[in-house]
Amino acid sequence: MKFPHTMNDGKTPASDSSAFPWKRLMARMAVWFLLAVVIFFGVIVWWCANEVAQPGRRPIHAGASAFFDGTAKAGYSVETFTSSQGVPALLCTPEVVGVFSPRAGLIRQQLGERGVEIPASGKIVGTIVILHGRGGMKEDYLAVAERFCAVGFRCLILDLPGHGGNPGKFTTYGVLEAPMVLECYQEAAGEYGFSGDPCMLFGQSMGGSVAVYTAALPESPFRSMVVVSSFDSLRTVIGKKTDSLLGLALGGLVEATANHVYGWRTGVKFSEIRPCDEAAKIHIPSLLVHGDDDNFVTAESGKLLFDALPDEDKKQWLIIPGGNHNNVLITDYPLYSTIAEWFLESAMDDTVSKKTRLPDLMPQ
């Protein structure tokens, strides 16, 4: 009787069916690990690019309704306006009032203490275009408009692309928004009959970058500008954040890759968003404000933007003690009256050929 040959003939080793295929397992684990790393890296890159391009829209804050309901008592009226490109805006117009609201009364008091001539209640001396920050919306700035309306300024507050009711999907921090802002202002001025009035720009953070790009347009009609907590280069801001979160090596790789993804989505790489280059074209009185405790956009970045402005006699740098990126407008420093004084001087100056510096009470 013959049995199947199972003995080792000495030429080839017998196979051990109980041996575990470690090499194959390790190879598979390495592939899965690399795949996980690639997916993780891709998620981070996409999130980074998306946060820059689309910070996320949110509903109107519940407190904003109080401003709409109480504007008559606060000394201004609010109308909605939409430009031909679909840019939504709020037009806030000063109205005659017997008793000013606490906010309005305070800014008038502070200006009076400085010896500034204040327009009478309801009198309009100019228009301020207000540009919100990243993640904001026009309704957030009704309290800002209330103060400026109290000292004679009509305010036009816009929803920028990627925010509020603006139909635009992405924000490019002024590169593509500047013509939209100018057109919205011109159309509103034409419809409501204030084309001949002095006009100014106010922008915070992202809105500050948009203000710089708008003021740099060759056809810009704006007499003066105030920029709060903005930056010289968007790539510098993003690079510092990615480096601090992920380290220099991985952070640099994420930032460089996200730059291309952002460019693919918006048509503009964020390395191309450099307000400092546009600032060199601006020759109007410009006040740049920054908090000394701003860890999101550092004062160093804001100072580089300020340094790029060419006319020493038409610009001023203001550091707010204790101010960070979110509270810079509401510290104990009388910032609103300082800004109002800057705008009032421009509105009253028919030549706009020189700029008298504000008092030395302003920290440098």
pLDDT digits (tens, 9 = 90+) for 266-302: 999 999 999 999 999 999 999 999 999 999 999 999 9
pLDDT digits (tens, 9 = 90+) for 214-253: 999 999 999 999 999 999 999 999 998 888 888 888 888 8
Mean pLDDT of 132-152: 95
Check whether 163 has a pLDDT greater than 80.
Answer: yes
Check whether 352 has a pLDDT greater than 60.
Answer: no
pLDDT digits (tens, 9 = 90+) for 246-261: 888 888 888 999 999 9
Banded pLDDT at 354 (limits 50, 70, 90): very low
Mean pLDDT of 153-172: 96
pLDDT digits (tens, 9 = 90+) for 37-68: 888 878 888 888 888 888 888 877 766 666 66
Banded pLDDT at 364 (limits 50, 70, 90): very low
Banded pLDDT at 359 (limits 50, 70, 90): very low
Mean pLDDT of 326-343: 96
Q: What percent of the chain has pLDDT over 90?
A: 67
Enumerate domains of the chain plus CATH numbers: 24-53+234-271 (no CATH), 69-233+273-348 (3.40.50.1820)
Banded pLDDT at 95 (limits 50, 70, 90): very high
Which residue matches tokens 């996200």? Answer: 258
Q: What is the mean pLDDT of the chain?
A: 88
Instruction: Check residues 141 and 75 and name the one with the higher pLDDT.
Output: 141
Banded pLDDT at 137 (limits 50, 70, 90): very high
Banded pLDDT at 116 (limits 50, 70, 90): very high
Check whether 150 has a pLDDT greater than 90.
Answer: yes
